Structure 1
Amino acid sequence: MSAPIEMTHPSSLDLRLSTVLAALADPARLRAVRALAALSESPCTELQHAAGLDISRSTFSHHQRVLREAGVLRVRVDGARRMLSLRRDELDACFPGLLGAVLDTTEERIGAR
């Protein structure tokens, strides 16, 4: 029997605004975060579908890693599934209002000047 996979997440003290914003700047990652905010917690494959992302599994896995390493996502291994959730409380404590503002911004407003 193999040992459980441990995911590393940055501590709240290590979260950096520039890293979080860079992770959220990608449209696919932003769509995944918005979908996850609506779902609360989701397996990877269901999140990809809920976000409407027509990308390869490896590309979606890359996006998850970027979001996890930035401190936006928490990944929990549940048997053969990886369960994803937002680190909303930690992000709100470090950057009050940021996640709410990002989630409330529409796609149209992102490209507008």
Structure 2
Amino acid sequence: MSHRTAPEHTHPDDVPVETALAALADPVRLSIVRELSTSEEWSRSCGTFDVPVGKAALSHHFAVLRAAGLVEQRDIGAKRVNRLRREEFEHRFPGLLALVLREE
């Protein structure tokens, strides 16, 4: 049985605004954040997102989102599930998430 290393998370309080903006500037990551914003917490595993990238690239995008304090992940069995850190991120960057989540 293989055991994955638990993902490392950066708390939004420790994230510079440039890091948050860079994470949200990428269309794939923005799509992930938007999908998470309308999903129940911990209900979405990494493979359930409708994004045009392979598994390795998807892992990278989730790592960037974790480093920016936007996403928290945990392993449940063989799946890694996600939640948007909406409250913590909003506390650090008031209004930013609401701006990027608005549909054009």
* TM-score band, normalised by shorter chain: 0.7 to 0.9
1:98 corresponding residue in structure 2: 96
Displacement, 1:2?
Answer: 6.1
Query: Percent of aligned positions with the same letter in both sequences?
Result: 41
The CA distance in 2 between the partners of 1:68 and 1:35, in whole Å, is 16
Q: Which runs of 4+ in 1 moved over 6 A?
A: none
Q: Whose radius of gyration is greater, 1 or 2?
A: 1
Aligned residues: 102
With CA pairs under 8 Å and 6+ residues apart, which has the higher RCO, 1 or 2? 2
Unaligned runs of 5+ in 2: none
TM-score, structure 1 length as denominator?
Answer: 0.81
TM-score, structure 2 length as denominator?
Answer: 0.88
Q: Secondary structure at the match of 1:76?
A: strand
**CA-atom RMSD, angstroms?**
1.7
More helix by share: 1
Structure 1 residues 95 and 4: alpha-carbon distance in aligned structure 2, compared to 1, 3 A threshold = same
CA contact (8 A) 2:12 2:68 kept: no
> Alpha-carbon deviations, 1:53-104, whole Å to 9, x = none?
1211111111111111111110111111100111101011111111011101
Unaligned runs of 5+ in 1: 107-113
